[in-house]
Amino acid sequence: MKYPYSRSLFERAKKHIPGGVNSPARAFKAVGGTPLFMKRALGACMYDEDGNELIDYIGSWGPMILGHCYPAVVDAVQKAVAGSTSFGTPTELEIHMAERVCDMVPGLEKIRMTNSGTEACMSAIRVARGYTGRDKIIKFEGCYHGHGDSFLIKAGSGALTLGHPSSPGVTTGTAKDTLTADFNNLESVRELLDQNPGEVAAIILEPVAGNMGCVPPLDGFLEGLRRLCDEHGALLIFDEVMCGFRIARGGAVERYGVQPDLMAYGKVIGAGMPVGAFGGSAEVMGVVAPDGPVYQAGTLSGNPVAMSAGLALLTELDKHPEIYGDLEKRSAALEEGLADVFDRHGITVARNRVGSMLGFFFCEGPIHSFSDVSRTDTEFFARFFHAMLEEGVYLPPSAYEAWFVSHAHDNQIIRKTVDAADRVLSNIKQSRPAR
């Protein structure tokens, strides 16, 4: 595959856009080479500016759970945009969205729309601080909750990929209120709570971490966090921006049966349009302006075009719950097919999967925490990434990102992916001795 036009576009982009991208995760920094500029996409495939067809395993980093250009979503957006792109007033659509989401997620009674997952997470911790009157939050190393100042402390995703998990520009005043624990390690959480009695407003986590690769919660971890929050008067926040509506109709709350006090959403809820949301019980959300004193706002929050897209997608998922069973089967077929190929080629690899979120780590397993993830061979991943790209398979351009399977990834697409891996691994070997 050759990408001459993407290369020229990237040089032009760098003149007026930092790093040539509007989000660092797209920059190929971790894998090297030129990021591909996409022209269009359909179903499980994207088509770049040089006319290459690519099987897509980022799915816009999560939203494309039913594949690109899903007809009901396209129709809804086309209809909505004909009635204006924004009013800056309440609309009935926002009521339908709120009712649909509160019906899908157990224990969700009130929800506020935002324009991104970052805004949703920022707002959720502000609500927790306003509700408890406390300042500190506990997050987990390797988890990513967007680029809000409070979160860029040992963060995952692009911050981790670029080697700045704790970003310059975040003040010491802010950083001191963010405590960091180890994912899947309840003792590390208990210690922080005991060292900061009465000061922790909330514990925030990705219930299934997807920003250090895919790292599921160990049995008892989420239940343990719930107990610790109750014992210490802190709120539990599930950041379901990535796993919400993906790993189950009701996300992690449904899949694991643990009730957080607040949840944050993004990605699927907007079907690829800029949408985030945060919500929880009516009691906790009662502090949110204009009902309560905790201010939160957004010119385009609940935007009618974005709501139409998200509502169309969520309605499909809600009306066809069998989609989750299909996603499970196809994602398992991909995971097992690739595991078999890695094994046959003597490649040392660990793997995690929850529904249609999965991750492969080129190191010994198991992978339960950020320190486990740190063992992954990122150099080998980069070689594997580019070799698969040459075969027409677009993986996330970082070893620290989850892969996403959509309902458009049918058996033929899965087979093509596994066969591509078999071909490339005949040509690239791990620098470390095979197992």
Choosing from 35, 158, 217, 304, the residue that interacts with ligand KE4 (CB under 6 A) is 158
Q: Is 399 in the site for ligand KE4 (CB under 6 A)?
A: no
Residue 206 touching ligand KE4 (CB under 6 A): yes
What is the closest distance, in whole angstroms, from the C-beta atom of residue 169 to ligand KE4 in the complex?
16
Of the candidate residues 9, 30, 35, 118, the single one contacting ligand KE4 (CB under 6 A): 118
Among 401, 406, 420, 424, binds ligand KE4 (CB under 6 A): 401
* Contact flag: residue 144 with ligand KE4 (CB under 6 A): yes
Residue 141 touching ligand KE4 (CB under 6 A): no
User: Is 182 a residue of the active site?
Assistant: no
Binding range to ligand KE4, per CB under 6 A, among 143-151, 213-221, 278-286, 335-343 = 143-151
Active-site residue, from 48, 239, 261, 372: 239
Does the active-site annotation cover 144? yes
Cross-strand partners of 278? 112, 264
CB of 300 to ligand KE4, least distance (A): 13
Contacts of 174 (CB under 8 A, 6+ apart): 149, 150
Identify which range of 91-99, 110-118, 303-311, 315-323 contacts ligand KE4 by CB under 6 A: 110-118
**Site stretch for ligand KE4 (CB under 6 A), options 214-222, 238-246, 311-319, 411-419:** 238-246
Residue 110 falls in the annotated catalytic set: no
Tell me which residues in 60-99 interact with ligand KE4 (CB under 6 A).
61
Q: Which residues lie closer than 8 Å to 386 by C-beta, 6 or more apart?
A: 31, 32, 33
Nearer to ligand KE4 (CB atom), residue 224 or residue 276: 276
Measured CA to CA, the distance from residue 30 to residue 347 in angstroms comes to: 21
What is the smallest separation between the CB atom of 24 and ligand KE4, expressed in angstroms? 7
Q: Does 241 bind ligand KE4 (CB under 6 A)?
A: yes
Asked if residue 157 binds ligand KE4 (CB under 6 A), the reply is: yes
Question: Is there binding between residue 159 and ligand KE4 (CB under 6 A)?
Answer: no
Contacting ligand KE4 within 7-26 (CB under 6 A): 23, 25
Residue nearest to ligand KE4 (CB): 117
Binding range to ligand KE4, per CB under 6 A, among 204-212, 222-230, 291-299, 341-349: 204-212
Single out the residue of 211, 301, 356, 369 in contact with ligand KE4 (rule: CB under 6 A): 211
Question: Which tokens go with 42?
Answer: 């359909």
Q: Which stretch binds ligand KE4 (CB under 6 A): 65-73, 172-180, 206-214, 356-364?
A: 206-214
Decide: is 269 part of the binding site for ligand KE4 (CB under 6 A): no
Residues that bind ligand KE4 (CB under 6 A): 23, 25, 61, 116-118, 121, 144-146, 157-158, 206, 210-211, 239, 241-242, 266, 276, 401
Q: Catalytic amino acids? A: 144, 239, 267
